[in-house]
Structure 1
Amino acid sequence: MGEKRSARSLNEHLALPPPPSPGVAVAINGKKKSKYVTFWALEKLIPQGFSDFKLIHVRPPITYIVTPMGKAISISEARAEVVSDYRREADSKTNEMLLPYKNMFERRKVRVEILVLESHDPVAAIAEEIAGTGVTKLVIGISVPGFFTKKIDMASLIATAVPRFCTVYVVSKGRLASVRPSDSESSGRITFERMERDSSTSSSPDSSSPRAHSRNNHEIANMDGGAVIPANYSFVSHQASNMSDGHPSVHSTTDNNQKLRAELKHVQDMYATTQTETAEAFQKVIVRAFEPHRPCNFNVMLHFLFLFGFWLQLTELNKRRYEESEKLMKLREKEEEAKDSASKEKQRYEETMKEVKKVKELMMKEALRRREVEIKAERHAKEKDKLHASLISPGIQYQYYSWEEIEVATSNFSEELKIGVGSYGTVYKCNLHHTIGAVKVLHAGETQLSKQFDQELEILSKIRHPHLVLLLGACPERGCLVYEYMDNGSLDDRLMQVNNTPPIPWFNRFKIALEVASALVFLHKTKPRPIIHRDLKPGNILLDHNFVSKLGDVGLSTMVNQDDNSSKLTVLKKTNPVGTLCYIDPEYQRTGIISPKSDVYSLGIVILQLITAKPAIGITHKVEEAIGDDAEFMALLDMKAGPWPISETRELAALGLWCTELRRRDRPDLKDLIIPTLERLWKVVDKAQNLRGKTPSGPPSHFICPLLKGVMNEPCVAADGYTYDREAIQNWLRENDTSPVTNLELPDKNLLANYTLYSAIMEWKSNKQ
């Protein structure tokens, strides 16, 4: 009776306020393991009747921005619009990171509220959010397991800070690792499956043993059927790391010492608790063994002696563990002191190196002044050589780049800037005179490649067309060609969705077919000699940021003679047909005779790939088999492009099959039949765009002046490395000595004309007209 009265008074003393409305919160840091946490919460808590979820993500506040030159500046020093753009980009990245988790909830058809908090202290932010919303269950992930790791475990800190009315579940690799129950669960009846099994066996002969009694009063079972967690276990600190990716929390030596002392205090508490529980259990065994009505026999005495010896061993073991933990804490404190000393030494070393660097910079400035005259002389010599070359070959016009300029623009041909590798050369992304481009370096050591280089340089330097890739310049002595940079890569990469690129919409594919056909007509009608491409394929069709297609890689093109008295081309015999398998004209392959109809065959294969996004091999047979049946034909289409108009798409497929006839004379004429058909089908695209809202076709981003927010008329480079419109930056510099973008002081107010970018802008403006 005494025990019952004391238990009742204890429960009355620990009476809790009524619990808040039920809800579940899932805290994630956005890393890969966060998906395990979310999946566990959905799998385990939805069957319990929970349908309202909150997804919490904490990121650090934005206090600085990074300039293109790699410098970090405070947001208080940057212009408001720059800070706004930087913050908008950060929000976009956060939303993109949270999208897969949102989709997980939507697939399970449960309501979810996504909360993005900004704080340098994720633990306090999560605890404050739980306290304010009344969430009753919180699911978090676990860091590195173990009692004595280097830093405090984020899961432990969160579980300690969260209000006691909320149950905290810690999940590791999709399984429940531990539970910190709420006050109501700790004082009430535990409803977990394993605890119910323990209670159900309480009437068995062993249910009254000290071991069973201790387990029923001090353990709760893992919801996944895993390890049993003591109810009085307070989360031991493991490792503290910022929940926001890429922004680790910085702790001082004082904070680390405080956390080490907290770990020691926790071990001491656990030691005392274990001692108390063991003594209580041992006392109950003695009382049970020597009750007046229970006969004392030899077996009971042996059992008592065994338990007594076990208790002595356990006591000694706990004592040793406590002593070892104290030693370990002292070693950790010494380690932190050593690290602090090393950090100060490193700081002094860095300050010394800065002074050395300043002296070197002064020496370099003096050397640069003496070298300036030499550089100017070399520049004048190069300009003279360019003028001489233009006088010798007045028909070929291109910007000359030296090999040294190409090396600098590609960071010495860095692997990170490599765009692709073909049969005839390697393509790198480059930055020449503050203009983004793509430089193709032909493989050295082959005579045939020099012919292809000369062929491509001659063709692209003489002709211009909106759907032919723009040649910016070349380095003839090293076999380098510099083109405009196409943001969306090749048509082949986009159709096959290399690197998980988004698919091309169906109406853009109609437009691409018309653009490629118009580029071929232009080549075939070139004067004085028509040009046949001979290597038309999706890999040689490039797309800019607005999905405008441009034909490139004309290194295998050939010029044919044309009779002035005839509108038909005189074909040439070629003993060795060139091109790419599956795209080569079968008749050209068999006879070696080339004609414009050879490009028509390749165009037909490209059209069939545009509507199916399938490899070229066997594609004509697949389309022929399916085109007569609506179901089979729809199954063959690339449905990732959106809802195709079935009638117009079938007509486009029929046009593609017509172009791939085996005999040249059976194929349609490019100018008289193919172009009119594609123009008529384009009206469907135009109508679809009007219904959806026309896609903006603005200028490339590097054409826009940061001050005018419009296309530059006369681009020039300022001392901060950014390109501006000359009139706009001159007006700015009359009243300011700082950069309009970085807000930092400019070393000088000199301006350098960007002729390459000026030519590209003029070309773009002429095409818009």
Structure 2
Amino acid sequence: MGTQVAEKVYVAIGTDPQEGFSTLEWALRKWSSPSISIVILFLHAANNTSKDYVYTPLGKLPANYMSDERMEGLRKMKEEENDKLLSRYKAFCGKVKAEVLKIEKCNEPLQKLLLEVISRFRITKLVMEITLMKSSSGKSHGALSGSFHIHHRKPEFCQLFILSEGKLVFLREENSEGFIEDDQGVRANGKGTLGDWSGQIKPNEKNLCPTASSSMPSRSPDQWENNVEEIESYFHQLISLNSDEEGPEAENETLWNGPDVQENKSAGDTVEMLRIKIGRARDVTKSKKKEAKANVERNARAEWAICLCTHRSEELEARIDEEIATRVDLKKELDNAEEEVCEVRNEVEGKKGKLSSMLELQHELSNRLQQSSLAKYRVEAELDKAVTKRAEMLREIEEWRRQRDVLQRRIEFCKEKDAIGMANRLTDSGFECKEFTAEEIRVATDDFSERLRLKSAGDSTNVYRGRLNHAAVAIKLYDSENGLSHEDFQAEVKVLSQIRHPHLVSMIGFCSEPKCIVFEYMHNGCLRDALFYAPRSSRGSNLNWHARVQMAAQVCSGLAFLHSARPRPIAHGNLNPSKILLDRNLVAKIYGFRPSWYYLPNMESDFWAFGNLVLQLLTGRNWAGLVDEAIVMDRAHIIKVLDDGAGKWPVDLAVELAGIALRCISANDGPPDTELSMATVKREIDLVRKKAEEIMAGREHEAAAEGGEEVEDSDVPRVFICPIFQVCF
């Protein structure tokens, strides 16, 4: 339901506070509903001046007496007085909603202005004091005629409420003659004066002025302005009464000093003459009574006029004293102003000299500015050329990058194709692997020199670095006494020779006596050393977050290949960072798996180991409680402990990797997940890897667009680096 719109009652008020508060009080008594809002229609003069005089606190003064500054000060003072009066009006309304609408009175009649306001704002209720029209016209008859004018020409939707001294009156017409009537039926002719109407509305009120001691303090300067015309009319009335005093006296003398009664007249004539004189005496007595009554009224009116004039004279004397003091102050201010003018003149003369020197400097600076502008135009032209050239270079760089990406994808595709083809050929041809002689093995390892031994692999094996056919190889030597039997060794060689995958360490050959297997050499060692023991600076440059995502995808690809082997899947069983080797291009390959007849294959252990490996890649930590802590934490908490040595991880990618790791770790704890397989994990990891490549491509593009900075060497795949600059063994 919509809110109810409050009905507006417009109350027309002038600058007389007594009249304004009386009108507002009547309106608030008439409409006390909360759905009513009062709009104070404040009528004020556009300025307090006319052509011949100016309204000041001292009264009317000639217009040529006031300066422009004084006029502006009077205008501001009048505005402040009006604002204070409006604040009092609004406060008088109390809890009733009130707003103010200021209307400036121009030269046009007030009744015409009010009719325009009624039509413009579609005023439905208008309350006004009848004396408001008098204040605009200055005449009592004009106030009544103006009220009748508004009453006749107002729109039908507007209700007009006219008050007189706080009472509601009504305008009537009868026999083509207007009259006004109050709510008690008292009438007055519309052609009478406003004073007569006020006397008829309030016949019991005394219009006489009280004593000066009781009434003078309550008078305001506006009261004199409102009664000045009545005082003038009373003055002219006194003059006319003085000129008419001689008529009645002459008439009385004629009445009583008439011709004497002739002695020779009869008694009847004498009686008749006396009767005539007695009748005349009665008439004179009646006229004297009326005159006495009129004299009483004139006496009261005279006392009122004397009282008002006395108070006015006292006010004028006080204001004259104030004006004299003001003139003295103004004279002092004028003298001070003249001294300041002299100082300003001297200062202006000094400023003129400075201005002339500054003009010369300005002319010189203008010439320099023109030269600078020409140089600026030349530099801007060169800059435009440089920008165009830079844009062309960026386009070329982008094209080279696109070609590099295409070439890299082709190289990876060819590597996988060659590895798959090699595996297929070995599978089709059966056991085809090169067998090296004992002499070749001893020469390659410098007779198993300790200098070339990489480590002791445990299980009665040692790993040596060597060179066969000018290529670096890793030779795994089995202990002849505590090692494998000849049949087990041949079976392991056969299985390893049949397995080929880009992310499994490839077997190159073997030697039956001594028992050893030759693998491809991984130049960057194991992932454990690169991730946990390498210096932090080199670790951050080589194993950034993008390289770690690639390694996780590569290890997952190798595990998925082993788990999908036929006729029986192969489980690694001991997957950890030391079993992940890195070649010269930081490609991860799995090492150390055995055929399944050595032990019972446990695929869940590979899932757990792979999840642990991904967590180590994310956090850079290597401790036994990492898995337990990861199980307690969710993926959001894992993001807080990411390895900052890998650079700024993309949060979305890190969250996805953490989720995959937690799924793999939880495979051992709960019931077996039939949907979880290494092939499924591989698809999820591949999606993460593609997103990582897109992010890296976007960052390279942004870097090139911002300043064409070169990409760090660590971000360039080593396949694009000349082999001469790569470390060879």
- TM-score higher than 0.5 here? no
Using the size of structure 2 for normalisation, the TM-score is: 0.36
Larger relative contact order (Cα-Cα within 8 Å, sequence gap ≥ 6): 1
Max Rg structure: 2
